[in-house]
Amino acid sequence: MNPTKNDGEKSPLLQPASVEPNLDALPSWYQDFLEQVERFWVVNQVEPSKRSSFLLSNLLGAIEAGDKDRVHLILEVSLQFDGPEKAALLCEMLLIKQHFRHQELVRELQLMAEPSAVPYLVKALTSNLDYMDEYNGSGAGVVAKWFSHALLDIGTPEAIKALRAFSAHSDAEVREEMAYRLTKLEDLD
């Protein structure tokens, strides 16, 4: 594969990264999407203290209406949300089955190392494993890996207790992933 255009010029995607991303190199549909995310709170004039509940109710409404584009937009805005209720919002969204962004929600909660997320992580993995496995298509062990990393990084006694409980899960892939993650905890001790 030749990484140059027909005229010998290198593709913009292969240029060294600059401080400012070159949005012209992105597909136009993605540029439009990023602009919608950026303009979301300009278009939706909602008081900051009410934004979390606004996002959650709009996500549920978009799911009910079958508006997948709106679902995706609201989840992206939620992942970028910086309000004090962000963790609670993402936890609630994690329990909703009818979307395909659970991995990103789990990862954000992992990065936040949010102790209040542990019961939601446990509930989501317990109740939504089959759904997440089905749309992900990679197997229950891959889905369990998202959760095992989050629980280990949160690291509270409750999170470690959840890892231990999942290491006895009925699904062999979940059991193996959680047992493996527990060995990483022992390596840290």
| 79 and 159 share one domain | no
Residues in the chain: 189
Look at residue 42 and give its three-state secondary structure: helix
In a domain, 52, yes or no: yes
Domain ranges, residue 43: 23-84
pLDDT at 3: 44
For tokens 């089955």, the residue is 97
pLDDT at 111: 95
| 51 and 115 share one domain | no
Structural domain ending residue among the three candidates 84, 112, 127 = 84
Q: What pLDDT digit, counting tens, does each position of 18-35 carry? A: 556 565 666 677 678 778
What number is the average pLDDT over the span 79-83?
89
Cα 33 vs. chain centroid, distance in angstroms?
Answer: 17
Inform me whether the pLDDT recorded for 148 exceeds 70: yes
In a domain, 1, yes or no: no
Nearest Cα neighbor of 106 from 96, 117, 98 is: 117
Strand partners, 10: 4
| 163 and 111 share one domain | yes
| 110 and 171 share one domain | yes
Nearest Cα neighbor of 122 from 155, 162, 173, 171 is: 162
Inform me whether the pLDDT recorded for 70 exceeds 70: yes
| 72 and 115 share one domain | no
pLDDT band at 107 (very low <50, low <70, confident <90, very high): very high
Tokens, residue 90: 């993402």
In a domain, 40, yes or no: yes
Q: Which is more confidently placed, 131 or 26?
A: 131
Inform me whether the pLDDT recorded for 176 exceeds 80: yes
Tally of structural domains, the chain: 2
Name the DSSP letter for residue 6.
Answer: T
What number is the average pLDDT over the span 127-134?
83
pLDDT at 134: 82
Look at residue 16 and give its three-state secondary structure: coil
C-alpha 126/C-alpha 143 separation (Å) is: 11
Structural domain ending residue among the three candidates 53, 84, 115 = 84
Distances (CA, A) of 35 to 39, 54, 119: 6, 20, 34
In a domain, 3, yes or no: no
